[in-house]
Amino acid sequence: MKYIDEFRDRKVCEQLAKEISNRAIKKDITLMEVCGTHTMAIFRYGIKSFLPSNIALLSGPGCPVCVTPNSEIDKAIAFSRKEEVIITTFGDMFKVPGSRSTLAREKSLGSDIRIVYSPVDALKIAGENPDRIVIFLGIGFETTIPTVAATIKDAKNKKFKNFFVLCCHKLIPPAIKVVLESGEVLIDGFLLPGHVSIITGTGVYKFIAKNYNKGCVVSGFEPVDILQAILMLVKQINEDNYSVENQYTRSVKEEGNLYAKQLMNEVFEPVDSEWRGIGIIPGSGLKLKEKYSQFDANNISVKVEPVEENPECICGEILRGVKTPLDCSLFGVECLPENPKGPCMVSSEGTCAAFYKYGK
């Protein structure tokens, strides 16, 4: 990529849109973007306005903050109430509602909660506060997991005793499989996440085409990227010939980032994990391997209150592609960016946030 403008050229976008319209001969085509960054880009650049009426785009479970269940948020909040604990977290978790509170509220009540930009920052805080317990909230997909793994290795090498990770990481491929097998939404193809795929490579998605006969294309995040990926999906659907294609070739390779994957596999191992609105997905989370278990925050005793869900919030259905924010009675009325009732309105990758910011 020489210049960003090349991937935002309106004439190129219009040419791609015209070809999509000419080739979209099937009556109805439903595509799901798995990545929250794609959701934001689709709204920001008005991608839907370029598409013919028979192509529908649905948002899927591609926002790591959004899919983090109340049970994990409640545990983080419970830890924050312990006087000896410092909670470190990415900023997009700060206002996410748990069952009864948020980290932002707990901070206002006196808890020591600090926003960091990387797990390395959290380790530095642990070094500066040897008499305190520092817990880093491990939120994110394959994109961010290697950096957490590297930090845990560093903590072990430097013999840290007060640094811990509350591992809430999630893996994308098992979630796609659950969406396909649920039967709730008929999906013809997937726009696969670019950032995640830089780490995983494209091979992890072969089951989508092979086992489910669905189109799948790894896409970049600029308007030309997304429209070109949609065109590639439409061609697969027309020809009834499915494979994993890679539109984002400037960043994604079939084998992915081998060193990053080696780091992940050294420090973590798969475990069944809960996803908001979906439930327990086998092998979709991670836990620390025995060699690094000394850094597992779950080893610290804490009392967590029973989990409660907001019955009016439909984030779960939105994450499964069953509903959109416009189906929610709270959206834009009681649920606003400054007063979010669910994580889909909090995160910068959340579908509700995208609808609210760009949907008008």
Residues whose CB is less than 8 angstroms from the CB of residue 80 and which lie 6 or more positions away in sequence, other chains included: 87, 103, 106, 107, 111, 112, 113
Q: Cα dist. 222→48, 50, 191, 257 in Å?
A: 14, 14, 13, 22
Note the CATH number of domain 1-309: 3.40.50.11740
Domain boundaries, the chain: 1-309, 315-354
| Of 284 and 339, more confident | 284
Arithmetic mean of pLDDT, 96-105: 96
* pLDDT value, residue 5: 81
The answer to whether the CB of 40 falls within 8 A of the CB of 223 is no
Rounded to 5°, the CA angle 298-118-167 comes to 20
Tokens of 17: 């849109």
Residue recorded with tokens 């997991």: 145
Among 17, 15, 5, smallest CA distance to 49 is for 17
Burial string for 181-219 (b: 16+ CB within 10 Å, else e) reads eeeebebbbbbbbbbbbbbbbbebbebbbeeeebbbbbb
For residue range 161-218, list pLDDT tens digits in order. 999 999 999 999 999 999 999 988 899 999 999 999 999 999 999 999 999 999 999 9
Tokens of 360: 């008008």
The rounded distance, in Å, linking the Cα atoms of 75 and 235 is 46
SS3 353: helix
Arithmetic mean of pLDDT, 334-356: 92
Task: Give bridge partners of residue 55 from the DSSP assignment.
Answer: 29
- Angle of helix 223-239 versus helix 36-44 axis, rounded to 10: 110
Average pLDDT, the chain: 95
Q: Cα dist. 311→105, 277, 328, 341 in Å?
A: 21, 12, 11, 11
* pLDDT value, residue 2: 63
Exposed (0-12), middle (13-18) or buried (19+): which is 33, by Cβ within 10 Å?
Answer: buried
Global pTM exceeds 0.85: yes
φ/ψ (deg, to 5) at 269: -140, 150
Tokens of 275: 């996803």
Helices of type H across the chain: 10-23, 36-44, 64-67, 70-80, 103-108, 119-128, 145-157, 172-182, 194-200, 206-212, 223-239, 258-267, 315-319, 343-346, 351-358
**pLDDT at residue 1 is higher than 70:** no
The band of 360, judged by pLDDT with boundaries at 50, 70 and 90, is low
Among 259, 303, 288, smallest CA distance to 163 is for 288
Strand (E) or helix (H) holding 272: strand 268-275
The answer to whether the CB of 215 falls within 8 A of the CB of 237 is yes
* pLDDT value, residue 3: 66
* pLDDT value, residue 52: 95
Beta strands at 29-33 and 55-59: parallel, antiparallel or unpaired: parallel
For residue range 137-159, list pLDDT tens digits in order. 999 999 999 999 999 999 999 99
